[in-house]
Amino acid sequence: MKSLWDEAEAERLRRAAGDDPAEQDLAMRVYTSQLIGQEPDLVLHGGGNTSVKTRRRDENGAEHDVIHVKGSGWDLATIEGPGLPAMWLDPLLEARKTATMSDEEMVAFLRREMLDQSGPNPSVEALLHAFLPAKFVDHTHSCAALAIANQPDAAERAREIFGDELSIVPYVMPGFKLSHAADQIHVQEGAGTSGQFLVNHGLFSFGDDARTSYERILRYTTMCEEYLAAKGAALLPEEVGTKAQDPEAHTSVAALRDALKEWGFFADSLALDLRLSDANDRFLALEGLAEITGRGTATPDHVIRIKPRPVIGEATFGVEDWRAAIKDFAAWYEAYFNRNAPHADEPKTMLDPLPRVALIRGLGIVGIGRTPKEAGVAADLAEQTARIVLAAEGIGRFTPLNERDLFDMEYWSLEQAKLKPKA
């Protein structure tokens, strides 16, 4: 990982922000958020979040601590100031004393403390950002870190890599519960640390200025990359130009389209995005591909865009083959829903039971969506997953979040809200 920090550009942005220190802090937060978002191996399609603590005046002119946190629906690569809504910090810190809070209560609580009520909902991890004492906090789902975070002995490997520089947080459902769990671990073990490693989830870094926190997240990611390389399982480089210009020139992809359009969900609108690369070929050639990809997604929030698993076929598949494969996938998805819905805290309605990714052995990876954008997002995430899985299998066993927890993420209202376009 190479730092993209440009001191001249940072100084230009500070000057453009004016004399208000809070606006200068926000400018630096936007700048490094965009730097993080520009690197797909750090975050992809809405993943990750960032924050900055500063001071602003209330309507009476009194100055108070506030925190700006990435808003739901915004992407770090393109984020601007309005995408980092500000909240009064002290009430958020008081939430440490609250034992439980429902999702709806947490969202309402965070919105009440927003300085501008027209802004987007703050990230579901806003309280965790608030509880961590550093001024700047960065959170990513980097590929290299996920190859390690999705190991059965992820905590032990993280301790080997980072020593006492990061505290280790076992998997906890994001939101209120994770905020409290990570805070308690930071209080107990966080003295002298400058980040956190979250099992099955990702990395946090923090620092007193934007550049320090940003370059720490790069360093921790690089440490993960070097660990993988030392184990003979280096993360394959991201390849450019993998998108096929005419996916349906391949008979198997054309047949996949015909089979999918027989389902009402895709009858009126369907887009396919075929990706061809050496990394994809290696992934598709894995022994036990169906079992490996059936274990779950590389990071929990991917499930809302690519479902818990892909549908798998061959380059020789025709319409009848795909029809059977999709029917099997839909039956599996319905059974998955029926297994897990009874354990949810509230009644759930099943989403469509259709795949968002098709793995075609002997050809490539296909993203599936109702629009070209949806299909492109699915293909991007699937390609990233392929590289993560190859590295994870190379050092041990790809062991992502278990089915029950993954279901909770897929059907979590606060995750589904990420799919809604920002206002």
pLDDT tens-digit series, residues 5-35: 999 999 999 999 999 999 999 999 999 999 9
Residues 400-419 as b/e (b if ≥16 CB within 10 A, e otherwise) read bbebebbbbbbbbebbebbe
Same domain, 176 and 265: no
User: Please, are residues 144 and 225 in contact by the beta-carbon 8 Å criterion?
Assistant: yes
CB-based burial label for 269 (10 Å; 0-12, 13-18, 19+): exposed
Say yes or no to pLDDT of 417 above 70: no
Same domain, 82 and 192: yes
Q: Which string of DSSP letters, residue by residue, matches 124-155?
A: TTHHHHHHS-SSEEEEE--HHHHHHHTSTTHH
Inside any domain, residue 181? yes
Say yes or no to pLDDT of 99 above 80: yes
Same domain, 163 and 20: yes
Inside any domain, residue 27? yes
State the pTM of this model: 0.94
Same domain, 212 and 283: no
- Containing structural domain, residue 130: 7-231
Same domain, 283 and 210: no
Same domain, 189 and 48: yes
Which whole number is the average pLDDT over 195-209?
A: 97
From residue 394, give the alpha-carbon distance in Å to each of 151, 228, 388: 11, 8, 10
Tokens coding 213 = 């926190």
Inside any domain, residue 239? no
Number of domains the chain contains: 2
pLDDT tens-digit series, residues 333-347: 999 999 999 999 888
Same domain, 263 and 349: yes
CATH of the domain at 392: 3.40.225.10
State the pLDDT at residue 255: 98
How many alpha carbons fall within 13 Å on the CB side of residue 348? 22
Inside any domain, residue 242? no
Which whole number is the average pLDDT over 54-63?
A: 96
pLDDT tens-digit series, residues 145-169: 999 999 999 999 999 999 999 999 9
Same domain, 102 and 33: yes
Same domain, 21 and 124: yes
Same domain, 193 and 327: no
Say yes or no to pLDDT of 423 above 70: no
What is the pLDDT confidence band of residue 419, given thresholds at 50, 70 and 90?
low
Same domain, 158 and 263: no
Inside any domain, residue 237? no
Inside any domain, residue 327? yes
Same domain, 401 and 358: yes
User: Please, are residues 50 and 43 in contact by the beta-carbon 8 Å criterion?
Assistant: no
**What is d(CA 64, CA 134) in angstroms, rounded to the nearest whole number?**
16
Tokens coding 95 = 């939430």
What is the pLDDT confidence band of residue 421, given thresholds at 50, 70 and 90?
low
CB-based burial label for 225 (10 Å; 0-12, 13-18, 19+): buried
